[in-house]
Amino acid sequence: MFKKILIANRGEIACRIAATARRLGVRSVAVYADSDAHSQHVAACDEAIALGGQSARDSYLRPELILAAAQASGAEAIHPGYGFLSENPEFAQACQDAGLVFIGPPASAIRAMGLKSAAKRLMQDAGVPLVPGYHGEDQDPARLALEAERIGYPVLIKASAGGGGKGMRIVTEAAAFEAALASCQREAQASFGDAAVLIERYVQRPRHVEIQIFGDRHGQFVHLFERDCSVQRRHQKVLEEAPAPGLPETVRQAMAQAAIQAARAVSYVGAGTVEFIVEPGQGAAPPRFYFMEMNTRLQVEHPVTEAITGLDLVEWQLRIASGEALPLAQEALRCHGHAIEARLCAENPDTGFLPAIGTLAVLRWPEHVAFERGAVRVDTGVKEGDAISPHFDSMIAKIIVWGEDRDQALARLDAALAQTHVVGLPSNAAFLRRVVNCKRFASAELDTGLIEHERAALFDAPPLALATVAQAVVAHSLAEDGVQSQGSSDPWSARDGWRMHGAAQRLFEIEHAGERQRFSLLQQAGRPMQLALGAQLLSVDASRFKGAVYRFEDRTGTLLSIHTDAGQALVRWIDPLQDAIKNATQSPTQAHGGGLQAPMPGKVIALLVKVGDVVAAGQAVAVMEAMKIEHTLTAPKAGTVQALRYSVGDQVAEGEALIELNRL
């Protein structure tokens, strides 16, 4: 076993690797960008070396800096985690050339599986089933359009290098092919430095099922069962579970054997994942599966496999990389229970999952015990007060649960998500709860279009009831005023609304679900407090409010983040005086929302209109890039373009006016 390793990554995966290294008595070395100087992964390791720079391009993606840090620290091996340099064959080879062990497969295996087109040709030779498509080297747009016609629409355009849903588009008709291809190529070039794509028949209502495999340097291979990763948005995973529910045993076994064949074909060593598309069976025919790609690294969702096997996959990686044989043979591996992982991200599901940045003003987790079955596990690389940066991935944490069966795991996940409170920036926590409780997921009717199929339940859910919101606001206000401590021996310190004659009335005004609401609190000494909500009178007892309310500030003013078992709400607390001042100082354009604002921080990469153009509501007018993913922005209303406030290439903050429109 190694004495010291360097972790060439950041965030939760770096913390995760450091935890196993510490348990095994292996010292760990962190590397960090300047923007990560005070991050959790730096504190989690025994040593830390600065790489400089703010972004990944200037730090974690600089092989020469990583190698220099490893040699300076005396590390014997480098663990790349996932992302960054983890699937870079040149980096793996450079480690070997520098006398360092790369904790992953050999460069030849990464290279063989790194380009999707070449990998598919290799898998075809190995007898692994493939989706019909074009995997050739000729990237002329006219040739690609002809191949799409030959395959038949709908087709899927996919970046040949990389993954993570970047550089992927579904095209349903020939007229949309050219624009989709250009967008895929731009995204692929920006994300992976390679604009090449492949084209495949788009399988209708597919499942995404993957097999966890391991190989050692002695030519032995095992699989650690499968994971279902079908619940996705923008081709990126949202929920993962193991084992895959409802998969026939014959298909399960055949897929596992195909995964072993794929690994054997490239003399694989270490942890890897072979991903398959599963097409529903017709009538009595079983489902069919097709090779999609192989990820030559540890996966984000590896904890669900750990939960059902009771194994530490990072430990397996370290042992195999140090030259040991596989810890267990195939017949000794067992799958027990059911596990589900939810990816908690800084993003806004209601605006197309646009990524968010900002400070985690409040971060509350459910009770958990890492690595123990029957409990909730939270893998994270951030703490309360940390910032989510535009330079890196928007994932805040992974929440993993295990149960004796799927129903128990679902119940535990719902409870865990209800106890997860993220305040200060948008998150998908409430959305994840809705997915877990929607009909299709609860009944395991899984396919990659589940989120779209359940759109009404997931995106058009009614807001938290006004009565619940009002009681939460009042309870929070009373708690801040110290009313709950009015049992003090000093009656003059109690702020309980006491009056010598009559009752005290306190007015509240908030903005909830896009509408202004007014209500009042009636207080009279010796009588229960009451909430007047229109004609409705409700009794109020702050000590009995079941939920949490957090106050914070953003550019719009004072906000209250409300968390209850019934759901979540974000309301703006309106100060009448401050609100009047704000409205008086706004320009007419600002007051009437006369234009398009940037929905997230990012870079303008295309302007589709010019000053003087007449646009329709919903018309595409600009394209922004955030976290290497393109987002097409549309006009919020019909009008004439009055001004373009930014140019192509400019960086824009969230909420900044991009385009001013005059009403028609």
Residues with a known catalytic role = 297
594-610 burial by CB neighbour count: b if 16+ within 10 A, else e?
Answer: bbbebbbbbbbbbbbbe
Nearest Cα neighbor of 57 from 396, 392, 395, 357 is 392
Q: Is residue 633 within 8 Å of residue 583, measured between CB atoms?
A: no
CA distance 111 to 103: 16
The string of DSSP codes covering 432-482 is HHHHHHSHHHHTT---TTHHHHTHHHHHSPPPPPHHHHHHHHHHHHHHHHT
Cis peptide, bond prior to residue 154, ω within 30 of zero: yes
**Angle formed at CA 29 by CA 316 and CA 103, multiple of 5 degrees:** 30
CA distance 544 to 526: 18
CA distance 268 to 274: 12
What are the structure tokens assigned to 334, written together? 């067992």
Beta bridge partners, 401, equal 340
Q: Which helix (H) or strand (E) holds 561?
A: strand 557-564
CA distance 658 to 310: 52
Beta bridge partners, 116, equal none
End-to-end alpha-carbon separation of the chain, Å?
72
**In sequence order, what are the residues at sequence separation of 6 or more whose Cβ sits closer than 8 angstroms to the Cβ of residue 462?**
none
Q: In whole angstroms, how far apart are CA 447 and each of 155, 204, 279?
A: 17, 9, 9
Nearest Cα neighbor of 523 from 481, 573, 571 is 481
96-132 burial by CB neighbour count: b if 16+ within 10 A, else e?
Answer: eeeebbbbbbbbebbbbbbbbbbbbebbeeeebeebe
Q: In whole angstroms, how far apart are CA 582 and each of 100, 147, 525, 587?
A: 61, 57, 37, 10
CA-CA-CA-CA torsion for 626, 632, 636, 638, nearest 10 degrees?
150
φ/ψ bin of 388: left (φ > 0), alpha (ψ from -120 to 50), beta (otherwise): beta
What are the structure tokens assigned to 490, written together? 């000093």
CA distance 17 to 377: 15
Sign (positive/negative) of CA torsion 291, 294, 299, 300? negative
Nearest Cα neighbor of 510 from 566, 459, 471, 479 is 471
**Angle formed at CA 536 by CA 531 and CA 541, multiple of 5 degrees:** 30
What are the structure tokens assigned to 255, written together? 């897929």
